[in-house]
Structure 1
Amino acid sequence: MIQYPTLDEHAVIGVTAPSSGLPERMHHYLDDIRKRFEDSYEIIIKPSVLTQDKVRSTDSNIRAKELNELFTDDQTSLIIPPFGGELALEIINKIEYDQLKPKWLLGYSDISTVLLAITLKTGIATAHGTNIVDLRGRYSDETTAMWSKVLNTKVNEEVVQYSSEFYQSKWNHSQPSESIFNLDTQTEWKSVNAEAVTIEGRLLGGCVDVINHLIGTPYGDVKAFREKYIKDEPVIWYLENCEVSTVEFRRILVQMQYAGWFDNCSGILFGRTPVTTDTNSYTIKDVYQDTADDLQIPIIYDIDCGHMPPQITFINGAYGIVEYSDGKGKVTQKFI
């Protein structure tokens, strides 16, 4: 069975950097974060958060040690990295999976490598959603703010989230809004063949740029996860593409198919992607259509997930019911 962490009132949040840390010019973000959370959570900042060199916060052994410490102490209830990065993969073999206590780990982008590996190896639910740097504003938009309600959901309860009204079409880090994001474009979920869709199954996913590197390793054994933790239940994959080309995106999805990751898959959700260029006229929509044709499953795309915020908080391992029609979406997650 899936193990769902619990988030206590006035919980302690541990901030560590399994991938990238904050360069000195961003250290003032921590003051904003402490101020934002001072009435609700205690914040513990690990040293890796304050360092960054050659695309990493620090040495992989230190990054892994900090994460292991937060997962095994008696104080921390929730772990949120500052943001993603490039080389979280370097710590995957240094995580002490058999020692981890059920605690929430929340993040996305490169952090999704760690999220997925932990859930597949241990059956502990992990949370794909916002990072802590993007929670430093005076308030959060309605979609982003749901992270707290989702992580406060108890075992045998359910939580419902809806598609956003607007999303951010491009980053402007020098001019953040009071909620950090500049939500400037109307959200419209879509489905291949433009049909209304309802999908049910266990949720798994992350950023395709990085999670594909778990394929063929002991940390990406989806078959073993199915057999041990969810038996014969179908899987809904939620996936987002940060920056890979359309043809590389297609190659990754085909590799996932060959590796058995899409066996007993009831549908795929694709997040909005900033990748808009085609490759010799091969487009993102072609990728979605080819995948739907190959797998003969429903596909919903341009959902609230990934590098074009805001983001729905998806729980790896939770039982999901995803409903789409007329450009809108509803995600129900059951902690069963």
Structure 2
Amino acid sequence: MLYPSPIKSGSCIAVTAFSSGVPSIYHSRLDFVLEGLTQRGFDVIEGQCLRDNHLHVSAPSHERAKELMAFLCDDRIDVIMAPWGGEVAMDVLSLLDWQRLETVKPKWFMGFSDISTVLSAISSKLGWATCHCTNLMQLGLNQQDSLTSNVFTYLATPAGSEFKQSAATHYEPHHADYSKHPNAVFNLTEPSFWKALNTNCNNTSALEFSGRLVGGCIDTHMVLYGTDYFAPYDRLINEFEPTIYYFENGELTPTQYFRALQSLKLKGAFKHAAGILIGRNIAAQGKRGEGYDDLMALKQALGDLDIPVLYDVDISHQAPNLTLINGAMANVKLINGMGEITQKLI
């Protein structure tokens, strides 16, 4: 793995929306989180593809790809972030000059949802470690839950060292409207427990497994798997090394969710997997037990696997989110519904 340098005070963060941009009604929130980066001691570069949104994107694909390439090739920049996810980040992948990117300094690339589309491409094509974590628009300086407030602390971890995270005790069922409440923090009201799909460890037993992390939003990864842009065993993981896949569902219905998981299984994605982490399912909010639901789809798709499958993990569109490093060697523990993950940057 190629781990970018640990971030520190004075590190340069470039912000560009290579998927959805930020319309004017959310500019107050954008200004708030950008100012928060400055107050943390970072130098901030704001891209041109950011403060507009038309037909799901901040700008035409060639403009978004050009700006992203410029930031990736600028070795003064240490971190690249997008404001949030979107729908069609996939359309910039073929427009990037991957051969040129082989020669530049690795940079931390951060975010989740549609951002994970590009995270996986960078890890697969370049062998860089990338960071699946809270998006910039959620990173207000006033947000104090430990998973969110420590994102930059985790990215200050030197290669060869490790950091540990414990599961959140509560999650946010519905996010705030930043157009009305630009300084909002998470409303973490619902009890959170990691659960095991196919073991008897939910209540009294302990479960533990290890492997290299790889994953993202299943909405896009179900179609990217097997391409150059999500090929974990090409640059990210040795073919015989154990893997921990993690996925979160943004918008798929239960039947679409089943097909996505089943497709990955049929393609052999889990052949060398030590375990699978499934995030809280925002598409299932309040609907479990109403006919064919997300949990039934999950059991139908993955219930026959002989590896641990944990679900309702802190990986999703329902905050807070773990910071997961694609390519890091992770050890996962589940004891009485409380999860813990340690990642070593090796």
TM bracket, shorter-chain basis: over 0.9
CA distance in 1, matches of 2:331, 2:217: 21
Which residue in the other structure is 2:35 paired with? 35
Which residue in the other structure is 1:184 paired with? 189
> Does the CA-based 8 Å contact 2:261-2:302 persist in structure 1?
no
SS at match of 2:150: helix
CA distance in 2, matches of 1:303, 1:222: 22
Which residue in the other structure is 1:298 paired with? 308
CA distance in 1, matches of 2:134, 2:296: 29
CA distance in 2, matches of 1:3, 1:67: 20
TM-score (structure 2 length as normaliser): 0.91
Cα offset for 1:231? 4.3
| Cα displacement string for residues 40-67 of structure 1 (whole angstroms, at most 9, x for unaligned residues) | 1111110111121011111111111111
Cα offset for 1:221? 2.5
User: 2:254 aligned with 1:246, yes or no?
Assistant: yes
Which residue in the other structure is 2:2 paired with? 3
User: 2:333 aligned with 1:323, yes or no?
Assistant: yes
TM-score (structure 1 length as normaliser): 0.93
Which residue in the other structure is 1:335 paired with? 345
CA distance in 2, matches of 1:291, 1:93: 31
CA distance in 2, matches of 1:69, 1:323: 40
Does the C-alpha gap of structure 1 residues 187 and 279 become closer, same or farther in structure 2, counting only changes over 3 Å? closer
Cα offset for 1:74? 2.2
SS at match of 2:153: helix
Q: Mapping of 1:132-151 within 5 angstroms?
A: 132-151=136-155
SS at match of 2:245: strand
Superposition RMSD in Å: 1.9
Does the C-alpha gap of structure 1 residues 296 and 113 become closer, same or farther in structure 2, counting only changes over 3 Å? same
User: 2:240 aligned with 1:232, yes or no?
Assistant: yes
User: 2:293 aligned with 1:289, yes or no?
Assistant: no
Cα offset for 1:284? 1.9
User: 2:122 aligned with 1:122, yes or no?
Assistant: no
Which residue in the other structure is 1:312 paired with? 322
CA distance in 2, matches of 1:301, 1:223: 24
Q: Mapping of 1:241-280 within 5 angstroms?
A: 241-276=249-284, 277=287
SS at match of 1:233: coil
Cα offset for 1:295? 2.4
Per mean C-alpha deviation after superposition, the further-off stretch among 63-72 and 104-113 is 63-72
Cα offset for 1:22? 0.5
SS at match of 1:139: coil
Task: Give 1:221's match in structure 2, choosing from 207, 216, 231.
Answer: 231
Unaligned runs of 5+ in 2: none
Per mean C-alpha deviation after superposition, the further-off stretch among 285-294 and 264-273 is 285-294
CA distance in 1, matches of 2:42, 2:241: 36
Which residue in the other structure is 1:113 paired with? 117
SS at match of 1:252: helix
> Does the CA-based 8 Å contact 1:146-1:161 persist in structure 2?
no
CA distance in 1, matches of 2:228, 2:164: 33
Q: Mapping of 1:33-72 within 5 angstroms?
A: 33-39=33-39, 40-72=41-73
Which residue in the other structure is 2:82 paired with? 81
Identical positions, percent = 34
CA distance in 2, matches of 1:44, 1:234: 38
> Does the CA-based 8 Å contact 2:262-2:302 persist in structure 1?
no
> Does the CA-based 8 Å contact 2:61-2:91 persist in structure 1?
yes
CA distance in 1, matches of 2:181, 2:251: 22
Number of paired residues? 333
CA distance in 2, matches of 1:140, 1:131: 15
**Letter matched to residue 218 of structure 1:** D
CA distance in 2, matches of 1:249, 1:279: 16
Per mean C-alpha deviation after superposition, the further-off stretch among 141-150 and 93-102 is 93-102
Cα offset for 1:186? 1.5
Cα offset for 1:262? 1.4
Per mean C-alpha deviation after superposition, the further-off stretch among 291-300 and 244-253 is 291-300
Per mean C-alpha deviation after superposition, the further-off stretch among 322-331 and 174-183 is 174-183
SS at match of 2:34: helix
Per mean C-alpha deviation after superposition, the further-off stretch among 174-183 and 203-212 is 174-183
SS at match of 1:323: strand
Does the C-alpha gap of structure 1 residues 278 and 29 become closer, same or farther in structure 2, counting only changes over 3 Å? closer
